[in-house]
Amino acid sequence: MQDAVLAMLAKEPAHGYNLRARLQRSLGPLGGSMNPGQIYVTLARLEKAGLVVCERADGLPERPDRKVYALTPAGQQRVAAWLAEVGWPKPDLAEFHLKLAAAAAARLADPVELVAAQRRELLRRLREVQRAALDEPAGPGAGLLLEGVVLRLQADLRWLAACERAWSANDDDEAEDA
Amino acid sequence: MNEPSPVVDVRGLVKHHGEGQGRVRAVDAVDLEVPQGQTLAVMGPSGCGKSTLLHLLGGLERPTGGEVRLAGRRIDTLGEPALARLRRRSVGFVFQAFHLVEELSAAENVELPALLAGCSRREARRRAGLLLERVGLADRARHLPSRLSGGQRQRVAIARALANDPLIVLADEPTGNLDTAATLEVLRIFEELRSAGQTLVIVTHDERVAATADRLISMRDGMFVDDTRLAGAGAGPVPEAGTGTGWLGGLIGLEG
Amino acid sequence: MGSIVLVARLVLADVRRHQVQAAMLLLAVTVATATMALGLSLRGVSDAMYEQTRAATAGPDVVALSGDTGPAVTSALAELADAPEVTAHHGPYQVVYADLTTRGSTSSPVVVQGFAETPGPLNRPLVTSGRWVRPGGAVLERGFATALGVGVGDHVTIAGRSYPVAGIAVTAATSIYPWAAQIGPYGGPSDYTGLAWMTRADARALASSRDLPVTTALDLKLRDPAATESFIDAHRVPITFHSWQFTAGQDMVILRNSQPILVVGSWLLGFLAVTGIAVLAAGRAVAQTRRAGLLKAVGATPGLIATVLLAEYLALALAGDALGLVIAHLTAPAVASPTASRIGGAAGPDGATVVAATVLAVAVAVLSALRPTLRAMRTATVRALSAPAHQPRHRPWLTALSALLPTPLLLGLRLTARRPGRAVLQACSTATTVIGIVALLVIGAQPERGYGLDGSSALPNLRGEHDRRVMLAVTVLLIALAVVNTITFTWTTAMEARANVAIARTLGATPSQISLGLSTAQLLPSLPGAVAGVPLGIGLCAMFTVGKWTLPPSSWLFGAALATLVVTAALTALPARLAARRPVAQALSAEST
């Protein structure tokens, strides 16, 4: 969540409610479960950690919330590191999804490239598990557990393939628009 | 040291199906080198041209353009009889639908390529026996394909593909009709072939089959969109981060 | 009612989808039934034509003939003319035995009958061209004139004197050419003889000028024309009687061989039709079994399913039957009357002929459709819908045999091991063709006496010619059906083996190995067929030949069998080549879906 919010600020400084609206757009119906105050709690933590700075904006006197958040250089570094990160400890689909959306919006990285990198990593893991499984005899032993891991990785890989298709198509559309 | 020529060497390979408006570019300007002993998996959505690529490599179809070399020898210009001899001696095919001759027993199916290559009946029989043993089906030699399970049939087909000790084995969706257990049987045989140094190209849409290869090419619309080294010398463009099996604990819930 | 509509709809749809097969069934049944109907109706047509000629020429019921002259004969004939059963008579008149030579110096025995210049009420030959006899002018019997190639206005030399041909006529008083003499000189045996008429005076002059043999003849009309037998029995005098029934029967002599050729030929044709169509039907068995399963699934009874499957074959076979009967009817007068001695045409085919031809047509339909129909009815619904229709069987003996053979043969045998039944059909088909060819050779090899003077072949033996022509036609039909069969067999086999062919191609079999294999797999069963066809053909000829006959040289028979094999090989080559060259990738992907 923190990383996603940071990445969204990479495009341009933004109000908290702006950030919240963009998060909700990306997550769709899943975004409905988000606590309305959560974005501000997150931003406060990030500010405390020195990754974002808060500025008062002028020109909108009638709005009670006039804080605009922007990335600090440390925040920018953190965003870059996060984009390059391919760890998948527990498949957090929402996080990866937001990563792609943020990367695309801020033009920080090509989402298709991010998907490909993630895919390579997952394939490498699948390979390890699959080879381990080949050594196991059939039956209710470790092979069965490994089979479960294989199936989950396979599911993740299929979702990545879907991501790749969708973002590639998006690229093509934008190329045509330009 | 002299660099040995790759088993497969493809330059600017193009294959069109159909004519005029209905023309489909099944394979669209593809370059590919497969060194000796490599296991290459080709993945992609159906209709991306991966089966056509395999047919072109094995001389079952003729390219519209480009060059195909097998062990340094150009095959796209060969006549049909020469192509047939090439398939007989240098290429072994494995198919999704097994494609065994239903009227012949397992052993007789495995004998066929050797007999076609002019082996004596005794020699063909001996080789078939060894190959069936290698795929663990020595006790099923006299069975008709219809009496074998899917996995067993595919293993017979693999034994048949190996009958003339081919330069390269080309497998088209070899696990497409198989359940998990049979898939594992086939993967074990591929693993054994890999360690014996057999060059192998597998077209598949099964990630677990692709993941066991040394190298993975992704195809879309007749073109290669990704080429990844999963193992072996000369790692590809993959960052080495995140390797090790530490992640596994998290994935299966052993870590908080 | 509803089910009839359903059956009709399904049958029509099927015929539309399988037009080639429908055409083949129609053609084969038409050929077989036409041949059979023709063979069976020959006697009827011959009788009908005699009857029509008899009516048109006031033919006598009995002709009394005597080779003797003298008062005893004269009084015996006068007595006959006065017999109570006799209502009218013509004659006695003279029948003079002579030679006739045409301008083209063709010579033939001839009998000259002396007739009045104005014919009486009995035995009035019908003049078909020119006019009736006048002093110095002769009239020739039409069958004789046609064989000689002589027309009105030509001159012929009879016993050294030249006569203009005044007219051409037909009569029912004598048998057809060349049996016009009825009895020979002095009551002895007669040679092949033509008939001519002259005035009584001219005939008498002819007889006395050269002292030629003469027979005295008397035409009689009886009160009861059917009672010729009892009339002849009642008058046991040293006179030869020819009843009109005898003369009509004598007309059939010329057709004595044609009838068995046509009838046996129609059996062979029917047999070829069954083999060819059965193979085609077997090729469609999968689809038909599936369709039967579909119909069962929606609640059709086995009876309805059998009806649908059989109805198509029966409908086509009956259409072919009708067509065959029409063709037989149209060609019968030409086939039943090889001479021009009779007039008139054929009435419709008689009931027995129609029944026999229809039985043949139905038998062809049922025999070809029986196996697929039974299989479709027996197969359980679910299995019919899902399972491949043909369960492969392992034939280790075939595999073992093939291992001894060169690679293409090995391939051919192993790839087409599916249906040994088809090999039997192919062998039968080849044997049938060879039987036809052998019969043709046997008939061609028979020595025969020409109709000219002293058996000269300047006037050809019309019966032999007719036999050969009919046999040739039957053989051509047999060969045509066998050609269609061979192509069908090879193509069907190649289509069924296409998966195996594609597999063999991926394993490195060359197209020429495959096509050679497919060809030889077809040719192999033809070999015993051709070998068996020779003795079978000879046996068949022996069964239908009376008296002594000559075997053609064995080199001919061997050559016929060999030629059949060579042609079969050539015919299998094209479909096999086409099948072997189909793109492999396509065949494989079609197979896996």
| Residue B130 banded pLDDT, cuts 50, 70, 90 | very high
Q: Any contact of B with C, at least 3 CB pairs below 8 A?
A: yes
**Please, what is the end-to-end C-alpha distance for chain C in angstroms?**
39
Range of B72's domain?
8-232
Is the confidence at residue C270, as pLDDT, over 70? yes
Q: What is the pLDDT of residue C454?
A: 77
Mutate to test the interface with B, among C405, C409, C507, C588 (most CBs of B within 10 A): C507
Other Cβ atoms less than 10 A from the Cβ of C381: the count is: 14
- Tokens matching residue C396: 């280790």
Worst-scoring range by mean pLDDT, A86-90, B171-175, C361-365?
Answer: A86-90
What is the pLDDT averaged over residues B165-183?
Answer: 91
When divided into structural domains, chain A yields a total of: 2
| Residues A102 and A114 grouped into a single domain | no
Task: Find chain B residues with C-beta within 8 A of C589's C-beta.
Answer: 51
Q: What is the pLDDT of residue C326?
A: 92
Is the confidence at residue C535, as pLDDT, over 60? yes
Q: Which chain A residue shows the shortest CA-CA distance from B183? A: A134
Distance between CA atoms of C223 and C200, rounded to whole angstroms? 28
The sign of the CA dihedral C366, C368, C371, C377 is negative
Whether omega before A137 lies within 30 degrees of 0, making that bond cis, reads: no
pLDDT digit string, tens, across residues B195-205: 899 999 999 98
Is the confidence at residue A172, as pLDDT, over 80? no
| Residues A28 and A93 grouped into a single domain | yes
Select from A109, A130, A164 the last residue of a domain.
Answer: A109
Distance between CA atoms of C17 and C37, rounded to whole angstroms? 31
Q: What is the pLDDT of residue B229?
A: 87
pLDDT digit string, tens, across residues A124-170: 888 888 888 888 777 777 778 888 888 889 999 999 989 988 888 87
Select from A70, A88, A109 the last residue of a domain.
Answer: A109
Range of A105's domain?
1-109
| Residues A132 and A173 grouped into a single domain | yes
When divided into structural domains, chain B yields a total of: 1
Distance between CA atoms of A153 and A90, rounded to whole angstroms? 11
Q: What is the pLDDT of residue C361?
A: 92
Q: Is B122 helix (H, G, I), strand (E, B) or coil?
A: helix
Residue positions counted in chain B: 256
| Residues A34 and A117 grouped into a single domain | no
Phi, psi of C172 (to 5 degrees): -105, 0
Q: Is B146 helix (H, G, I), strand (E, B) or coil?
A: helix
B230/A124 CB distance under 8 A: yes
Is the confidence at residue B139, as pLDDT, over 90? yes
| Residues A176 and A114 grouped into a single domain | yes
| Residues A53 and A136 grouped into a single domain | no
Contact C167, C132 (CB under 8 A): yes
B84/C506 CB distance under 8 A: no
| Residues A105 and A119 grouped into a single domain | no
Closest CB from B91, B99, B116 relative to C588: B99
Closest CB from C411, C499, C512 relative to B81: C512
Query: What are the helix and strand counts (H, E) for chain A?
Result: 7, 3
Is the confidence at residue C116, as pLDDT, over 50? yes
Is the confidence at residue B131, as pLDDT, over 90? yes
What is the pLDDT averaged over residues C137-158?
Answer: 91
Q: What percent of chain C lies above the pLDDT cut of 90?
A: 19
Of B204, B157, B129, B194, which Cα lies nearest the Cα of A134? Answer: B194
Is the confidence at residue A65, as pLDDT, over 50? yes
Q: What is the pLDDT of residue C438?
A: 92
What is the pLDDT averaged over residues A78-90?
Answer: 81
Q: What is the pLDDT of residue C431?
A: 93
| Residues A26 and A99 grouped into a single domain | yes
Chain B touching partners, 3 or more CB pairs below 8 A = A, C
HSE-up of C302 (CA within 13 Å, CB side)?
A: 9
| Residue B1 banded pLDDT, cuts 50, 70, 90 | very low
Is the confidence at residue B236, as pLDDT, over 50? no
B207/A127 CB distance under 8 A: no
Q: Which residue has the tokens 């991010």?
A: A114
Distance from CA of B179 to the nearest CA of C (A): 17
Which has the higher per-residue pLDDT, C436 or C306?
C436
pLDDT digit string, tens, across residues C193-227: 899 999 999 998 988 888 888 888 889 898 888 88
Select from A79, A109, A139 the last residue of a domain.
Answer: A109
pLDDT digit string, tens, across residues A37-64: 888 888 888 889 888 888 876 655 555 5
Is the confidence at residue B254, as pLDDT, over 80? no
B80/C588 CB distance under 8 A: no
Classify residue B193: in a domain, yes or no.
yes
C510/B85 CB distance under 8 A: yes
Interface ipTM: 0.81
Q: Is B130 helix (H, G, I), strand (E, B) or coil?
A: helix
Q: Is C155 helix (H, G, I), strand (E, B) or coil?
A: strand
Q: What is the pLDDT of residue C394?
A: 65
Q: Is C87 helix (H, G, I), strand (E, B) or coil?
A: strand
| Residues A104 and A172 grouped into a single domain | no
| Residues A84 and A135 grouped into a single domain | no
- CA gyration radius, chain B: 19
Q: What percent of chain B lies above the pLDDT cut of 70?
A: 89
Strand order through the sheet with B223-229: B91-95, B168-172, B199-203, B39-43, B215-220, B223-229
Interface of C with B in 414-453 (CB under 8 A): 414-415, 417-418
| Residues A105 and A170 grouped into a single domain | no
**HEC per residue, C336-402:** HCCCCCCCCCCCCCCHHHHHHHHHHHHHHHHHHHHHHHHHHHHCCHHHHHHCCCCCCCCCHHHHHHH
| Residue B133 banded pLDDT, cuts 50, 70, 90 | very high
Q: What is the pLDDT of residue C391?
A: 58
What is the pLDDT averaged over residues C123-135?
Answer: 91
Q: What is the pLDDT of residue B256?
A: 35
Phi, psi of B79 (to 5 degrees): -75, 170
Is the confidence at residue C378, as pLDDT, over 50? yes
Q: In CATH, what number is assigned to the domain containing residue B20? A: 3.40.50.300
C-alpha of A161 from chain center: 16
What is the pLDDT averaged over residues C481-499?
Answer: 84
**Is residue B254 less than 8 Å (CB to CB) from chain A?**
no
**Is residue C403 less than 8 Å (CB to CB) from chain B?**
yes
Is the confidence at residue C118, as pLDDT, over 90? no
Q: Which chain C residue shows the shortest CA-CA distance from B54? A: C585
Q: What is the pLDDT of residue B74?
A: 92
| Residues A33 and A104 grouped into a single domain | yes
Q: What is the pLDDT of residue C380?
A: 62
Q: What is the pLDDT of residue C105?
A: 80
Interface of B with A in 209-238 (CB under 8 A): 210-212, 216, 220, 226, 228, 230-231, 238
| Residue B237 banded pLDDT, cuts 50, 70, 90 | very low
Q: Kind of pairing, strands C240-243 and C62-66?
A: antiparallel
Q: What is the pLDDT of residue B70?
A: 92
Is the confidence at residue C593, as pLDDT, over 60? no
Q: Which chain B residue shows the shortest CA-CA distance from C501? A: B101
Distance between CA atoms of B155 and B175, rounded to whole angstroms? 11
Q: What is the pLDDT of residue B241?
A: 40
